[in-house]
Amino acid sequence: SKVLVTGANGYIAVWLVKSLLEKGYAVRGTVRSADKAKQVADILTGYGEKLELVVVEDITKEGAFDEVVQDVDAIEHTASPFHFNAEDPQELIGPAIQGTVGVLKSASQYGKSVKRIVVTSSCASVLTPGLPEPKVFTESDWNEHAIKLVEEKGKDAPNSEKYRASKTLAEKAAWKFYEENKSSVKWDLVTLCPPFVFGPALHHVAAAESLNTSADAFYQSVVMPDYGGKSLDALRAPMSSWVDVRDAALSHVLAIEKEAAGGERLIVASGPFCWQDFIDTANALSPHPMPSKEGILPKGAPGQGKDTVHMVRYDTSKAQRILGIAPKGMEETTRDTLADYESRGW
Ligand code: NDP
């Protein structure tokens, strides 16, 4: 069967496309330019006609997905802006909502064979930051805080909250569209909520400086001598949770395969972290995956992460039950990420 993957050149998406191809699916991936199509094709070679790449220049355009949803059995909608540089929150919110609703609309009109649509949401749409007490968040929690902040402050809202609002609003729009149309469409909806995604990059990355947002945060915090400008205190501050990019990708595959996932919102996470945990893990690896940096990787304040009180935790039991996923641990992800840097000569 054939799966449509939007934003097929992204960090998570290239791993996802590869996982689908490895499992025997045919994949139609959308990207924004012919150059990006070529980059993906150059990475995922040897799959012949099973991999088709199509340019959808502007996902916010009415009917942008009308053609690409035809003849596919499932859709994985991953395309959405993820950066913390937007001045106007609409830069993020516009494509996030219109892209998501656009895919669902096109599928309901032209996706005659579509049985399932998976939307990549985020723990950004689940958590509420800054609570006075630690909390274990579940799929019934929504980040109303970010929406309100952006409504009230607009351009002056913190950039992280603009992104979080875009993910929350897009996911809400997806569920609203589904609820309003479920009696007439032949597909059901799954939303996946991963926290920070780390792990080796498979997609085209021109240089360490152009890593995608979450992988860049890892590189900065674990490899750069100034931890990307963080103080030692910041290294032990609680940072929500993380998951390996290969598990994030796999959860998208399982989300189209598991019947019981239909109609569900699923949090896919490995565990909470602070940067010091990854720094300690990186320094303890033996044999070291970055021989060129062995002994000189920054050390932060070793062991200080152990006392960190994690304010935001996630209940991952639903995803574990429905998808049967057991996410990788810190050591494996750290080792493979550093080995990836080493192979790129960073
Ligand atoms: P990337 O930045 O690597 O990928 C983002 C993808 O979305 C790219 O294909 C990008 O295309 C596309 N995209 C971005 N903005 C637009 C736009 N305005 N119009 C059309 N396409 C656009 O990030 P990730 O792989 O990390 O993100 C993929 C998805 O996963 C996103 O929905 C993100 O919100 C979500 N997510 C990511 C997490 C993480 O920690 N990485 C955590 C939780 C959720 P182009 O290359 O052309 O810009």
pLDDT in tens, 4-23: 999 999 999 999 999 999 99
From ligand 1's centre to the CA of 64, what distance in Å? 17
How far CA 146 is from CA of 31, 47, 93, 162, in Å, comes to 29, 42, 12, 7
From ligand 1's centre to the CA of 211, what distance in Å? 12
How many CB atoms neighbour CB 184 within 10 A?
A: 7
What is the C-alpha separation between 301 and 241, in angstroms, rounded? 20
pLDDT of residue 226: 97
Residue having the nearest C-alpha atom to atom 20 of ligand 1: 59
Tens-digit pLDDT profile for the chain (346 aa)?
A: 999 999 999 999 999 999 999 999 999 999 999 999 999 999 999 999 999 999 999 999 999 999 999 999 999 999 999 999 999 999 999 999 999 999 999 999 999 999 999 999 999 999 999 999 999 999 999 999 999 999 999 999 999 999 999 999 999 999 999 999 999 999 999 999 999 999 999 999 999 999 999 999 999 999 999 999 999 999 999 999 999 999 999 999 999 999 999 999 999 999 999 999 999 999 999 999 999 888 899 999 999 999 999 999 999 999 999 999 999 999 999 999 999 999 999 9
Residue having the nearest C-alpha atom to atom 44 of ligand 1: 122
pLDDT of residue 294: 87
Give residue 63's region: left, alpha or beta (phi > 0; psi -120 to 50).
left
User: DSSP labels for 184-235?
Assistant: T-S-EEEEEE--EEES---S--SSGGG--HHHHHHHHHHHSTTTTT--HHHH
From ligand 1's centre to the CA of 104, what distance in Å? 18
pLDDT of residue 4: 99
- Please give the order of strands across the beta sheet that includes 51-55: 51-55, 26-31, 2-6, 74-77, 116-120, 188-193, 265-267
Give the binding-site residues of ligand 1, using a 6 Å CB cut-off: 7, 9-13, 32, 36, 59, 78-82, 95, 120, 122, 167, 194, 196-197, 212, 214
What is the chain's length? 346
From ligand 1's centre to the CA of 79, what distance in Å? 5
**What is the ipTM score, two decimals?**
0.99
- For each of the domains in the chain, give its residue range(s) and CATH number, in order of start: 2-200+242-269+312-327 (3.40.50.720)
How far CA 88 is from CA of 91, 128, 147, in Å, comes to 6, 22, 14
From ligand 1's centre to the CA of 80, what distance in Å? 5
Q: Which of 55, 80, 246 to mutate to test the pocket of ligand 1 (most atoms within 8 A of CB)?
A: 80
